[in-house]
Amino acid sequence: MNTQTTFKTEHAKRYLSTLCKHFGHKVPVQLDGKHGRIELPFGQCELAAGDEALDLTVSAETKADLDKTAQVIASHLERFAFRENPQIEWH
């Protein structure tokens, strides 16, 4: 199962780096320029930074794990990007 969202921002690469570095202290993370992957115990998140947006795709085995993964990633992004007041809606 997966769900995705796009956060429109001119600072996508910075948020990608911040998220990956933050989670990298606790779980496996891959960071390669404008792409990243965060592997939580209950799901994972693929991130791609463009010039005007950060695309996030969350995947997990169950709906409950998908919702939990999406919530964890969104809450951290909202905290790191508080100045931009992101409205994260997963589709």
Tens-place pLDDT, residues 56-73: 999 999 999 999 999 999
Name the H helices within the chain.
Answer: 12-23, 63-80
Q: Has domain 2-83 been given CATH number 3.30.310.50?
A: yes
Nearest Cα to 33, choosing from 46, 16, 19? 16
**Whole-number Å distance between alpha carbons of 39 and 58:** 10
Helix, coil or strand: residue 88? coil
For 11, residues 6+ apart whose C-beta sits below 8 A from its C-beta are: 81, 84
Per-residue model confidence (pLDDT) at position 85 = 87
pLDDT class of 87 with cuts at 50, 70, 90: confident
Prediction pTM value: 0.93
Q: Would you say residue 84 has pLDDT above 90?
A: yes
Domain boundaries, the chain: 2-83
Quick: pLDDT tens for 14-49: 999 999 999 999 999 999 989 999 999 999 999 999
Q: Would you say residue 86 has pLDDT above 90?
A: no
